[in-house]
Amino acid sequence: MQLTGTQTLITILAIALGAVITRFAPFILFPETKEPPIFITYLGRVLPPAMMGLLVVYCLKGISMECSPYGIPELLSIIFIVILHEWMNNVLISIGGGTYLYMFLIQVIFC
């Protein structure tokens, strides 16, 4: 522990404040008592699919194309999830199956 107790607490609160601002800002800027501008309503509708795309890429950002295993476990697992989801259409089975395959690939095949 590098910092004193008080310093640690202040650091925690500073980080929390940053997070709280990013979370509350939209709700404070566009309160529920007032109709938000049309472009905000539009963004609220189109942002979720786009952000889901962002989160997927964000999770895979660490993959290296230069060294083994070149993102192959991730690619195979995602293909498996797509097939599984198309076939069974069950969120939990798709997620469980994909995760299981990924663990198997990196612990047994590509280790």
Partner 1 sequence: MIKTGVKKDFLKAFTLAFPSTIPVLTGFLVLGMAYGVLMQTKGYGLIWSVLMSAIAFCGSMQFVAITLLTIAFNPMQAFTLSLMVNARHLFYGISMLEKYKGLGKARAFLIYVLCDETFSISSSVTIPDGINRKYFYLSISLLNYIYWVLGTFLGSVAGKYVHFNTTGLDFVLTSLFVVLFLEQWKTPNNRLSAMIGIIGTLISLFLFGQNHLVIPAMIIILVTLLIGRKKLCN
Residues near partner 1, by CB under 8 A: 1-3, 7-27, 30, 32, 36, 39-44, 46-62, 73-74, 77-78, 81-82, 85, 91-92, 94-96, 98-99, 102-103, 105-107
Alpha carbon distances (Å) from 16 to 19, 26, 64, 108: 5, 17, 32, 40
Which residue, 20 or 70, has its beta carbon nearer to partner 1? 20
Question: Taking the complex as a whole, how short is the minimal distance between the CB of residue 70 and partner 1, in angstroms?
Answer: 16
Question: Taking the complex as a whole, how short is the minimal distance between the CB of residue 5 and partner 1, in angstroms?
Answer: 9
Q: Which residues neighbour 30 within 8 Å (Cβ) at sequence distance 6 or greater? A: 36, 37, 40
